[in-house]
């Protein structure tokens, strides 16, 4: 009988501890435990960060990082059957969908800006992007200074337009700045000779080059400008969830998993067409892998 009551006591204590553990959860982790579901926001065509493969499945570098976070949350909460729901997002609605609780973790190509931190929170940096110029491979241009007096295109409505104007004034380059309606048109203006070069995020122009029929016909100029960190995005004022996300990413950065994922998505053939972007890891990202940081750009 004493043994019976002892067993009951242990079970009761265990149940109480589980309840206590459950009650100690807050924010997103509490939401996930109660619903048994985590919602990942993804982009539809932000290659190679987050995009659809030929089966309409979201894949990419950011998606792999998020799925590692999901695995860690499963273990933390003891939810072997945790359901993962995918929610498409775009540049216009991604912040709103995180803020209103529709998306728990956004897995895309979102830059961590101080202004955005007023509305949402970010993980430690997962990528580093700068601005680069792309031109024809047989052109004589090596740096932006070689483009003095030449027509240069940027895509309308982007922050790149402001940057190129600032550089133009500071260096007195007399650039003839043009605007393409989208990135595809901006690159077309270079390949057809209407512009000498096109400026945009380095990874973006590298991806556009990789998708060309003859990628070797284009090259990136040597210099780069500015720099912004990409990160996973989630609701602000949720330190418990942020700690879980950052701990997962930190482990991946320290044990080499993140570097392997980088090589998989930026240096190897990727689905659905098997193209290789061929984008070596930026030096700044190597530094961030060695010493993780969630510092934002101003």
CATH number, domain containing residue 101: 3.40.190.10
Task: Give mean pLDDT, residues 31-54.
Answer: 95
Cβ atoms 173, 145 nearer than 8 A:
yes
User: Are 31 and 110 found together in one domain?
Assistant: yes
The last residue of a domain, from among 226, 242, 271:
226
User: Are 170 and 210 found together in one domain?
Assistant: yes
Cβ-in-10-Å burial (0-12, 13-18, 19+) of 56 comes to: exposed
Enclosing domain of residue 136: 130-226
User: Are 240 and 187 found together in one domain?
Assistant: no
User: Are 34 and 101 found together in one domain?
Assistant: yes
Cβ atoms 234, 28 nearer than 8 A:
yes
Say if 11 falls within a structural domain.
no
Task: Give mean pLDDT, residues 47-61.
Answer: 95
User: Are 111 and 167 found together in one domain?
Assistant: no
Task: Give mean pLDDT, residues 108-130.
Answer: 96
Say if 253 falls within a structural domain.
yes
73 pLDDT higher than 70:
yes
Q: Which pLDDT score, from 0 to 100, does residue 23 have? A: 52
2 pLDDT higher than 60:
no
Q: Which pLDDT score, from 0 to 100, does residue 87 have? A: 98
Domain count for the chain: 2
Helix then strand then coil, % of the chain, to nearest 5: 45, 20, 35
21 pLDDT higher than 70:
no
Task: Give mean pLDDT, residues 82-90.
Answer: 96
Say if 30 falls within a structural domain.
yes
User: Are 92 and 218 found together in one domain?
Assistant: no
270 pLDDT higher than 80:
yes
Say if 295 falls within a structural domain.
no
User: Are 209 and 141 found together in one domain?
Assistant: yes
20 pLDDT higher than 60:
no
Dihedral sign computed on CA atoms, order 103, 104, 108, 109: positive
Say if 2 falls within a structural domain.
no
User: Are 107 and 247 found together in one domain?
Assistant: yes
Question: What are the two backbone dihedrals, phi and then psi, of residue 117, each rounded to the nearest 5 degrees?
Answer: -70, -10
45 pLDDT higher than 70:
yes
User: Are 118 and 236 found together in one domain?
Assistant: yes
> What residues have CB less than 8 Å from 262, skipping those under 6 apart?
61, 281, 285
| Predicted TM-score (pTM) above 0.85 | no
Say if 63 falls within a structural domain.
yes
The last residue of a domain, from among 226, 252, 272:
226
User: Are 37 and 180 found together in one domain?
Assistant: no
User: Are 134 and 121 found together in one domain?
Assistant: no
The last residue of a domain, from among 178, 204, 226:
226
Query: Mean pLDDT, the chain, as a whole number?
Result: 92
Cβ atoms 49, 62 nearer than 8 A:
yes
User: Are 211 and 284 found together in one domain?
Assistant: no
Say if 81 falls within a structural domain.
yes
Task: Tell me how far apart the alpha carbons of residues 164 and 161 are, in angstroms, rounded to a whole number.
Answer: 5
Output 248-253 pairs: Cβ under 8 A, ≥24 positions apart. 248/68, 248/69, 248/72, 249/65, 249/68, 249/69, 249/123, 249/124, 249/126, 249/292, 250/124, 250/292, 252/65, 252/68, 253/124, 253/288, 253/289, 253/290, 253/292
CA nearest to 218, candidates 149, 136, 97? 136
Higher-pLDDT residue of 119 and 16 is 119
Say if 203 falls within a structural domain.
yes
């Amino acid at each position: 009988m004493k043994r019976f009551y002892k067993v009951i006591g242990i079970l009761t204590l265990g149940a109480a501890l589980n309840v206590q553990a459950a009650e100690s959860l807050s924010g997103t982790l509490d939401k996930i435990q109660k619903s048994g579901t985590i919602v990942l926001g993804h982009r539809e065509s932000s290659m190679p960060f987050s995009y659809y493969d030929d089966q309409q499945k979201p894949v990419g570098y950011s998606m792999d990082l998020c799925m590692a976070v999901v695995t860690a949350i499963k273990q933390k909460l003891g939810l072997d059957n945790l359901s993962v729901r995918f929610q498409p997002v775009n540049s216009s609605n991604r912040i709103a969908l995180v803020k209103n609780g529709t998306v728990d973790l956004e897995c895309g190509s979102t830059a961590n800006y101080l202004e955005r931190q007023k509305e949402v929170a970010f993980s430690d940096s997962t990528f580093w992007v700068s601005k680069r110029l792309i031109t024809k491979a047989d052109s004589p241009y090596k740096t932006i200074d070689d483009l003095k007096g030449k027509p240069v295109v940027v895509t309308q409505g982007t922050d790149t337009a402001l940057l190129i104007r600032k550089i133009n004034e500071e260096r007195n380059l007399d650039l003839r700045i043009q605007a393409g309606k989208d990135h595809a048109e901006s690159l077309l203006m270079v390949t057809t000779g209407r512009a000498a070069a096109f400026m945009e995020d380095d990874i973006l122009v590298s991806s556009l080059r990789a998708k060309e029929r003859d990628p070797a016909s284009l090259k990136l100029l040597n210099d780069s400008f500015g720099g912004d960190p990409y990160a996973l995005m989630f609701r602000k004022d949720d330190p418990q969830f942020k700690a879980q996300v950052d701990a997962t990413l930190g482990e991946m950065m320290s044990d080499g998993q993140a570097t392997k994922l980088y090589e998989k998505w930026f240096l190897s053939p990727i689905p659905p067409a098997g193209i290789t972007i061929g984008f070596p890891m930026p030096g700044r990202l190597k530094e961030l892998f060695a010493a993780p940081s969630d510092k934002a750009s101003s």
